Structure 1
Amino acid sequence: MSSPITAKVRYLAPQWCGSATAPSIGDWEAMAAATVEHSVSVENGRGTEYGLDTTGFTLFDHETTVDFRDESAIASQYFKELAPLVQAQTGADEVFVTHHFVRWGDPEDFEAGYAGFLHGDKGLADPFGYTHSRIEELDIRLDAGREYDFAWYNTWQPVEREVRQHPLVLMDATSVPREHIHEYFYTSIGNHPPESAPEFAEGHRFVHFPRMQTNEVLMFKQLDTRPDRAPTCLHSAFEDPTAPADAPLRRSIEVRWMCAFSR
């Protein structure tokens, strides 16, 4: 296993940690005002132990022939390919796609570019309230005679070429106490529930999977209503200092999943 690298990531700025109000981040200027940069050590995740319910992430293989510029093929083929793999990784009784996003490499576009700060895409304060409101919005039908717990995940797969620049860095959930995680509002897409961002503290562990290939899928947790499991996996894109200066921009597809677990 290779030695750790030093990378720069952005945490929530101290004035917002524990504040009665949460910051709003919807463009690069707001992000710069609400976050602060730190240098951290990032481990190579290959060859280490990890899991969705412990560290909050996992890596698995998946070959696909989908043309990711064809939205209809993504919906008709790619989702169907991934659904049984997501079910196998999580042990869920039911899995549902909520939405997806293909990033073609535009770092200047705040919404379509690469995440510039550590975050989770769901707030942690009211996991059941958030989940049930989203079930209603998405018109998801579950067996009314059964009770469920829920968890939300991302799958993230490189498109067209290996990842050399702007890979994802993941915070090991076992190293991030719940009190280190705060709320913020992601406002670039209008009215949106609060999301999560961490305060800086010593002891956080960072992991990435260098040079991910197009047949690899990184899966990480966004929110879990079940106790005694990783509640989320905070993450960010980062500039890999070991990548060549002319490394091409990362291209990737991310799919958001809601998983239901019968009690």
Structure 2
Amino acid sequence: MTTATFKYIDQSTYQGKPWSKVDGPGTSFALKDHQRTVTSLRGQEDQFSTENSGFAVYNHPANEKRFAEDSAIRNGYYAEVESMLRSRLPGKVKKVVIFDHTIRRRDKNSPRQPVQQVHVDQTPGAAVTRVRRHLPEEEAEELLKGRYAIINVWRPIENPATDFPLAVVDWRSTFPSDFIAVDLLYPSRSDAYKDDDDRGKEKLPDENTLQSKEGYEAKGETFAVAPREGHRFYYVKDMRPEEVMLLKCFDSAGEGERLGKKGLAVRTPHTAFVDPQTPESAPGRQSIEVRCLVFYE
């Protein structure tokens, strides 16, 4: 257990609905630092699941090791992820649709830095949009009648994630009022019908345009998280490449949702953070996060 700084949205710094840009820094709001205790999951992994806390950790080595070739990831690792989800997730999985992935290799000159803000990748509305976007219309509408979820599969690459580790918040320590919908802005362009997903295409920041929405349009929605003293943070200290963490972003059967079941986790706030125990010699964090639509029987 250690104490670390976590960055939450500062609700006093924006007016109207807040927004952020998908392709790099640029938001209508500021972040505020809060000190919180964070506990390592080592030795107690079996007490947490995607059903009760919203996250789970497994020892599950991948055949892919370097994640250097996009084709190898899509043609090989995606299949590994689907197989792992089918075997590890509670309940009977009917269908898995992997819709994107992001690789981050921490280098001060890289636009793809670990995200230091407590957040959730999708709101319920954004989850519905994802289903309709990645599946044929008739199939999507049928699947939306049942239970569906968005699960992110996160793992370190090449070396342990000692530098800028990933922290998660136990869903059971959150309240619905903690979650603040944020418009996700995408670059406006005429060829959007060919390629309208800018995740993983981050640009180095331009100080002159950070606060401007010019050239952007709202096409997604995420949750920022308001600070709360009672949030319980966890991480896997020195998480290894053979380990994976499953992060639930949304579950239509979660408590309070349309098919809601009491006690079933809806979502998992998460963030990168600076572990004060990290040695200066630790290599920069490298990680891959695969985002998946999961449909249940």
C-alpha contact 1:107 1:114 (8 A) present in aligned 2: no
**Hey, what's the Cα distance between the residues in 2 that align with 1:138 and 1:145?**
14
Task: Give the aligned partner of residue 221 of structure 2.
Answer: 194
C-alpha contact 1:99 1:255 (8 A) present in aligned 2: yes
Shift of 1:210: 0.4
Matches within 5 A, 1:23-102: 23-26=18-21, 27-28=24-25, 30=27, 33-48=29-44, 49-66=47-64, 67-90=66-89, 91=91, 92-102=93-103
Task: Give the aligned partner of residue 114 of structure 1.
Answer: 114
Shift of 1:167: 0.7
Shift of 1:173: 0.3
CA displacement 1:211-246 (0-9 Å, x = unmatched): 011100011101111113211100000011101113
**Hey, what's the Cα distance between the residues in 1 that align with 2:107 and 2:296?**
37
CA displacement 1:160-213 (0-9 Å, x = unmatched): 111110110101100001111111133364543210111112211000000011
| TM-score, with length taken from structure 1 | 0.87
Task: Give the aligned partner of residue 103 of structure 1.
Answer: 104
Q: 2:266 aligned to 228, 231, 238, which one?
A: 231
Task: Give the aligned partner of residue 13 of structure 1.
Answer: 10
**Hey, what's the Cα distance between the residues in 2 that align with 1:178 and 1:260?**
24
| TM-score, with length taken from structure 2 | 0.77
CA displacement 1:65-115 (0-9 Å, x = unmatched): 3241011111111111121211222232111101111112235555x2110
Percent identity, aligned pairs only?
24
Structure 1, unaligned runs of 5 or more = none
C-alpha contact 1:10 1:35 (8 A) present in aligned 2: yes
**Hey, what's the Cα distance between the residues in 2 that align with 1:133 and 1:144?**
11
Task: Give the aligned partner of residue 22 of structure 1.
Answer: 17
C-alpha contact 2:131 2:140 (8 A) present in aligned 1: no
C-alpha contact 1:23 1:34 (8 A) present in aligned 2: no
Computed over aligned residues only, the root mean square deviation of the Cα atoms, in angstroms, reads 2.3
Task: Give the aligned partner of residue 245 of structure 1.
Answer: 280
In the comparison of the two structures, how many residue pairs are matched?
251
Shift of 1:248: 1.4
- Name the CA shift for 1:253/1:181 in 2 (closer, same or farther; >3 Å): same
**Hey, what's the Cα distance between the residues in 2 that align with 1:209 and 1:60?**
11
